[in-house]
A and B are shown apart, each in its own frame.
Chain A
């Protein structure tokens, strides 16, 4: 094959049959199948000046799907704070980029693959990992870490075990084969995900600040090159599937789930980084959702150009595919590239080395239109600009949920009484089981490849990587990256605004507890049906809550993804704005773990405004109390900022041995999790004067914001307490001892360690 490619005289090409849009049941069904409204169809007619072909209708359907166009969410996403001194690339590109040290930057993003994973959990989860990896490496970044956040229905639900097993296997098999360590994540179980699990995958890559690549189809006469796997019928309409709700009988959706091939992904990764480093391409874009369609329109759109493509040249893995199918297929591990014609031989040599098929399928033109030929006909002739400029944008009606009058006091009392009835010892066991050990999960993930993992999932906190790079500031030989994903869906169900803020501050606390300074976030906004005004209000409030937290903590949003229509048979999931955060630590040697490995005194760092709550708490969930009762813990921004700074400083001074932010199930559950696998016992006694007078149960199980449990390195107590004395909004008290014993005792209660271990390690069963 040579590098010459010419287009036929398009004016002479016949068009295929146009769709029949005469009013009637057939046309209504056609629009419904494409999830287009009649208003949107009217806009299509206006843009084209004629009736569309079926392929064109498919293109509009995909490009204007919620998944690709963010039509319900765009007006809200604008409110995110996206700027900061370390931001190199903000939202709108394939991934966000933030500076870590010197010229060394992190490119990262999180993305959902919820609907495919519910239908076919193994492939759905695997291709979710594949997609987010490509988003990162097609910018020229080498992926160094994967994270994932999973939400399943109750353990007792009939589908849960099947989904967990296969989602986990899918994530592991894909990431392990490509050779990217899976270093952190979170899993929880809640009834609202019974019919709609969440699979959110995040990738972090490293990139040189001056070598960030963006996907532009520039240069008239340049060649459009197809790279990677051949196209099949898998995944047709994936984007619009992700933009609709499930009915219980989803069996007929199965054909829309893509099939992943991590080996090809690995080749694609190496080949892509190779051609970008050699400067062989001018544009490059992953064929992700809506495949060839979205990649070609997006690249042409960014460059303000047109494209001509000949589908007869697209490599196929099956016969008799129509233009419609070729354009909408979401076959995995494919890329679209734009190259200068004289680069073809060099490019071909690189791709041959990696045994990847590449084919010239088109040209960059100056028409401002995407024109597509297939088997003698001009199947598509659509102007590029209106595809995005005239894309639907909705300000959907919102109706915020009624606020409960209760300030939490009466709910807290109810939960406390129920807890006493259950027995605090039993409650601790239930809490340990519910939030317990994920070892059976992460053992299936390669956590160490890349040999940078200082703290992985075994340490139970945010992950710490020792990032060795010649691009980093040479004065930081032990430079580290800290990454975490966090979201508490129960707080979000209670109050979408505070829930969003809590997700960000929880992530920031996890980063700080590992010694990191938070740098930036990516988000995966999982919500229900946007056509429900209450859900839309939740979404808007969630965006505001996240924005508030980002502003308070000076942590911008640099990339993200929206997943709506997470509902089944009219039941929406709890709002789940998953936050992925990266942070920086100057010296990984000082990074504490979230588990305590040797006997030590335990300290509690807490805001002076501390007030434990049971609204949205793990305790309320375990005791089957109302999901919308009470209030979530209040966030004291002064205290949160101060404690994050304080931790970064004292960890930087190498004073802290272990550190963990207090989370689900309150102080006792968090403390127990820090020691339960080590074989050490615990004597926990909380003496904070701000908590004096509170019932014991509230002190130990009540949930709080801005608290940390920590131990100190030997000999560093005087210096630490001296530093702590200058705290204005926070205080430090000793909270007991980790010691050689066979029990966990707290307040007046005692639970045998062995029972705690059993509960904790049976979490995933």
Chain B
């Protein structure tokens, strides 16, 4: 994707909570690859500046002490994020950001502790969902490699919810093995149906546990596949 010139630069709000720690990495990735400066928005704000999209970065918001993302979901800024999303505004939640999105009921389901009870940091293979799922841009069938790093990334949704996700093409990414199969072996944390990320019904809100911002340079982790996800996020409003 081309770098942007000074005019018409997209306005993306980076929602910062105390304990967010992937905010700088996100800002760095958007700046280096797209020439976009993310606009930090502090959790105590009671209004959003004029924005094209919001990004919720990873980390341990409020220490994740109650349940990952649970406290952040009740912060003042999330009221604003909710109304932004209600108006069709695009949102991307990565790792803790995904947890905050489910805790805020902007995405269905919940993220539970990994079945190993341990934090897991490793590269994974993802397969993009089959629908026109991610911000209306088709990544369908794309295999993407990037790292996960979380202690609570086991996606859970009940049977009805799972059926709805599938019916509406909302399963954005699944963990897959070398052969591209969402096998038990490829499931890092016990997540339901190998789900790594989902989108909202209108396709405007994406939450995922893997870190696309950590896979934007071949030099780091050997994969730049994360750019595809960041680009589809940008394409949602450009």
**Residue positions of A touching B, CB distance < 8 A:** 169, 172-173, 176-179, 261-264, 266-267, 353-355, 442-454, 466, 468, 478, 588-589
Known: A178-B21, A179-B21. A446 touches B119 (CB 8 A): yes
CB-based contact A261/B63 at 8 Å:
yes
B24, B28, B119: most-surrounded residue (chain A CB, <10 A):
B119
CB-based contact B220/A453 at 8 Å:
yes
Partner of B149, one of A173, A449, A454: A449
Known: A173-B119, A444-B118, A451-B213. A179 touches B63 (CB 8 A): no
B118, B121, B149, B221: most-surrounded residue (chain A CB, <10 A):
B121
| C-alpha spacing A468/B32, complex, angstroms | 11
Q: Give the interface size bracket for B toward A.
A: 20 to 34
| Proximity bits, B47-84, A CB within 8 Å = 1, else 0 | 00000000000011011110000000000000000000
Give the residue name and chain of the B residue nearest to A178 (CB).
Answer: B21
CB-based contact A266/B60 at 8 Å:
yes
Asked if B29 CB lies within 8 Å of chain A CBs, one says yes
**Residue positions of B touching A, CB distance < 8 A:** 18-19, 21-22, 24-25, 28-29, 42, 59-60, 62-65, 118-122, 147, 149, 151, 211, 213-214, 216-217, 219-221
Q: In the complex, which residues of chain A have a beta carbon less than 8 angstroms from the beta carbon of B149?
A: 176, 446-449
Give the residue name and chain of the A residue nearest to B146 (CB).
Answer: A448
| C-alpha spacing A453/B122, complex, angstroms | 13
| C-alpha spacing A466/B28, complex, angstroms | 13
Known: A176-B149, A263-B60. A444 touches B121 (CB 8 A): yes
Q: In the complex, which residues of chain A have a beta carbon less than 8 angstroms from the beta carbon of B24?
A: 450
Q: Is the interface of B mostly helix, strand, loop or mixed?
A: mixed
CB-based contact B42/A266 at 8 Å:
no
CB-based contact B25/A450 at 8 Å:
yes
A478 vs chain B, min Cβ distance (A):
8
| C-alpha spacing A169/B219, complex, angstroms | 29
| C-alpha spacing A264/B63, complex, angstroms | 8
Partner of B22, one of A354, A449, A452, A468: A449
Q: In the complex, which residues of chain A have a beta carbon less than 8 angstroms from the beta carbon of B214?
A: 448-449, 451
| C-alpha spacing A453/B211, complex, angstroms | 14
CB-based contact B65/A451 at 8 Å:
no
CB-based contact B219/A179 at 8 Å:
no
In the assembled complex, 29 residue pairs joining A and B whose CB atoms fall closer than 8 Å, in A order, are A177-B63, A178-B21, A179-B21, A179-B22, A179-B59, A262-B60, A263-B60, A266-B21, A267-B19, A444-B119, A445-B119, A446-B119, A446-B149, A447-B149, A448-B121, A448-B214, A448-B220, A449-B21, A449-B22, A449-B149, A450-B24, A451-B25, A451-B28, A451-B29, A451-B217, A451-B220, A453-B220, A454-B219, A478-B219
| C-alpha spacing A434/B18, complex, angstroms | 42
CB-based contact A354/B18 at 8 Å:
yes
| C-alpha spacing A444/B117, complex, angstroms | 10
Q: In the complex, which residues of chain B have a beta carbon less than 8 angstroms from the beta carbon of A452?
A: 220
Q: In the complex, which residues of chain B have a beta carbon less than 8 angstroms from the beta carbon of A450?
A: 24-25
Give the residue name and chain of the B residue nearest to A165 (CB).
Answer: B118
| C-alpha spacing A452/B42, complex, angstroms | 25
A355 vs chain B, min Cβ distance (A):
6
| C-alpha spacing A178/B63, complex, angstroms | 9
CB-based contact A177/B120 at 8 Å:
no
A178, A442, A446, A447: most-surrounded residue (chain B CB, <10 A):
A446
A264, A443, A451: most-surrounded residue (chain B CB, <10 A):
A451
Q: In the complex, which residues of chain B have a beta carbon less than 8 angstroms from the beta carbon of A178?
A: 21
Q: In the complex, which residues of chain A have a beta carbon less than 8 angstroms from the beta carbon of B25?
A: 449-451
Q: In the complex, which residues of chain B have a beta carbon less than 8 angstroms from the beta carbon of A173?
A: 119, 151
| C-alpha spacing A589/B63, complex, angstroms | 36
CB-based contact B19/A263 at 8 Å:
yes
Partner of A446, one of B18, B19, B28, B121: B121
| C-alpha spacing A267/B217, complex, angstroms | 29
B97 vs chain A, min Cβ distance (A):
14
CB-based contact B121/A177 at 8 Å:
no
| C-alpha spacing A261/B19, complex, angstroms | 12
CB-based contact B42/A353 at 8 Å:
yes
Q: In the complex, which residues of chain A have a beta carbon less than 8 angstroms from the beta carbon of B219?
A: 454, 466, 478, 588-589
| C-alpha spacing A263/B68, complex, angstroms | 13
| C-alpha spacing A177/B152, complex, angstroms | 13
| C-alpha spacing A466/B149, complex, angstroms | 20
Give the residue name and chain of the B residue nearest to A588 (CB).
Answer: B219
Give the residue name and chain of the B residue nearest to A478 (CB).
Answer: B219
Known: A179-B22, A444-B119. A453 touches B221 (CB 8 A): yes
CB-based contact A445/B213 at 8 Å:
no
CB-based contact A267/B18 at 8 Å:
yes
Give the residue name and chain of the B residue nearest to A457 (CB).
Answer: B121
Nearest 10 CB-CB pairings of A with B: A179-B21, A263-B63, A446-B149, A177-B60, A451-B25, A448-B214, A444-B119, A446-B121, A448-B147, A172-B119
